[in-house]
Structure 1
Amino acid sequence: MSRRIRLVRIAAAGIAVAALALTGCASGSAPASSESAADAGYLTPGKLTIATGETAYEPYVIDDDPASGEGFEAAVAYAVAEELGFAPEDVEWVRTSFESAIAPGPKSFDFNIQQYTITDERKQAVDFSSPYYEASQSVVALKGGAAEGVTDIAGLKSLVLGAMSGSTSATTIEQAIAPTTTPQLYSSNEDAVAALKAGQIDALVLDTPTAYTAVNFYIDDSFTVGELPAAGVPDQWGLLLAKDSPLTADVTAAVDTLRENGTLDALEEKWLAVLSEGVPQLQ
């Protein structure tokens, strides 16, 4: 957290440096700033407003309750908040749809954590922090379909595979599988899921956490065929902020600190180890 942000929060709260130290934000004395927290870029003075999905699934958020801090992304959010100098009670949660958050324009949050892949196209409309997670890719199919019984990449080559156009999943199909049948690409994962359910494709490639969520929560009678080897550009997730947000540098610094001190690895091990349980590695 930058010195400027710390001074701004002291002024906004109207408290002494000694009181601020109780929150774990400041380590030394400094004169109060005349600027307000709003000037620092926060949506609400003295509060950190974090957004997640209208429905937040496990293992990212347990029981759709991000304020509990339970689940990978809920835990990451509170770890970032602490690095920025906010106590848990000073964190406020709001909900957004996936698409509305990445659209240009004003935001109802300071940052949004919702499995957003960092892409150059999205960077034209919003800011991202440095990555807090890098996802692998997995294959999802319906039970009783053409993909049932497939145990290796060779078995996938003749299948009709689907993915979201322009995604890491689409790149992985081409580079890791190299299918003999032209893949079907869709404008969104939702459209690709609908195609799988309708029998228009044999299997679907998604990032592994999304594949886990799909199989366990919203694609009936589905299963994970297996996890694919890395290919192409890695699928890295970042915290999403408004375009040119004055908070981007400080949020990025917080994520970098959590990566360097091992916190992100520990949270990944705690909350995301379930993703690979029983899932074969396709070779």
Structure 2
Amino acid sequence: MSRRARPLSLAAAGLAVAALALAGCASAGTPAATGSASDSGEGWVTPGKITIATGEPAYYPWVIDDDPESGEGFEAAVAYAVAEELGFAADDVVWVRTGFEEAIAPGPKDFDVNLQQFSITDERKKSVDFSSPYYETTQVVVTTGSSPAADATSIADLKDLLIGAQTGTTSYTTIESVIQPTQGAQAFNTNDDAKLALENGQVDAIVVDLPTAFYISGAELTDGVLVGQLPTPEGETGDQLGFVLAKDSPLTSQVTEAVDALRKDGTLDELAAEWLGGEGEAPVLK
């Protein structure tokens, strides 16, 4: 399952190219590429293995067909690339599943690293560690052609509507901080629940990250409409996604070094183009 040996597969059409605008610097210490990480049992859940967690379920285009072991999908591919950078063979990758909020709650973990579109925030850093970011994205409003949100061209047009998102996510907090709807953000356990509520007319629109927005609007909704991106506050970056590790994990610097190496050699850009590439545009709402 080497990232260099695995044949490339094109993601389904309808996804947007999302720019990977990350400029992190490599952490100090022994370079991860030496393979020393896999040779040492210190800090790992299972010595000689790397235990990687993702969601239950894991969604396209991040993981294809809810099968991370295949290495297909952006986050599945990034996980195997990081494992290889750390010196682990594909057979030494062990996958487990966790809930989204469970993964970022304080306390011990049954995984070495976890990736399921976790935005790096100061609040979450109080409970867990993050690697340097492997991807940067924005939040996007999605609706259907029959919804009153379909004609929205500004944030003001959305304020009196029912807007929902998965609870505990940046999508949810962005609704509250950027749109500030008069009826508050509508919370759902998963993106699937939010999408179902949209289809049933229980909400007027939902907010998800950019790649997910293009897939939902183009492939899952019968009459999907991509309303637009929510703006990033001036002077700030988009949502930077990182690997989650246990708080004060001895592995954090090694995983960060691996991510930084993959960014520097262009692997992260290549994987983003492969799995998140496609056609379409999402205007920025003002």
- TM-score category of the 2 structures, normalised to the smaller one: 0.7 to 0.9
Match of 2:244 among 204, 223, 240: 240
* 2:259 match: 255
Distance 1:138 1:82, change over 3 A: same
* 2:81 match: 79
Q: How much has 1:190 moved relative to structure 2?
A: 4.2
2:25 is aligned with 1:2: no
Structure possessing the higher radius of gyration over alpha carbons: 1
Q: TM-score, normalised by structure 1?
A: 0.74
Match of 1:270 among 255, 258, 274: 274
1:224 aligns to what SS in structure 2? strand
* 1:52 match: 54
Number of aligned pairs? Answer: 251
2:155 is aligned with 1:162: no
Q: How much has 1:236 moved relative to structure 2?
A: 1.1
1:236 aligns to what SS in structure 2? strand
* Letter aligned with residue 184 of structure 1: G
Q: How much has 1:282 moved relative to structure 2?
A: 4.0
Distance 1:145 1:46, change over 3 A: same
* 1:41 match: 43
Assess if the C-alpha contact under 8 Å between 1:113 and 1:240 holds in 2. Answer: yes
2:148 aligns to what SS in structure 1? coil
Determine the C-alpha separation between the residues in 1 that align with 2:36 and 2:155: 59
Identity, in percent, stands at 53
Distance 1:183 1:134, change over 3 A: farther
Determine the C-alpha separation between the residues in 2 that align with 1:43 and 1:186: 37
Distance 1:96 1:157, change over 3 A: closer
* 2:150 match: 148
Determine the C-alpha separation between the residues in 2 that align with 1:128 and 1:72: 18
* 1:15 match: none
Moved more, 210-219 or 248-257: 210-219
* 1:121 match: 123
Which has the larger helix fraction?
1
Alignment RMSD, CA only?
Answer: 3.3
Determine the C-alpha separation between the residues in 1 that align with 2:281 and 2:160: 20
* 2:210 match: 208
Q: How much has 1:134 moved relative to structure 2?
A: 0.9
2:134 aligns to what SS in structure 1? strand
Determine the C-alpha separation between the residues in 2 that align with 1:175 and 1:67: 37
Q: TM-score, normalised by structure 2?
A: 0.73
* 1:281 match: 283
2:96 is aligned with 1:63: no
Distance 1:182 1:220, change over 3 A: same
Determine the C-alpha separation between the residues in 1 that align with 2:117 and 2:31: 30
Q: How much has 1:101 moved relative to structure 2?
A: 1.3
Assess if the C-alpha contact under 8 Å between 2:49 and 2:92 holds in 1. Answer: yes
For each residue in 1:13-49, what CA deviation from the matched residue of structure 2 results, as whole angstroms up to 9, or x when unmatched? xxxxxxxxxxxxxxxxxxxxxxxx33x2111111111
Q: How much has 1:182 moved relative to structure 2?
A: 2.5
Q: How much has 1:173 moved relative to structure 2?
A: 5.3
What 5-or-longer segments of structure 2 have no aligned partner?
A: 1-28
Between the two structures, name the one with larger relative contact order (CA 8 Å, sep ≥ 6): 2
Determine the C-alpha separation between the residues in 1 that align with 2:177 and 2:47: 48
For each residue in 1:239-283, what CA deviation from the matched residue of structure 2 results, as whole angstroms up to 9, or x when unmatched? 011111100010011111111221111111111124xx3344245
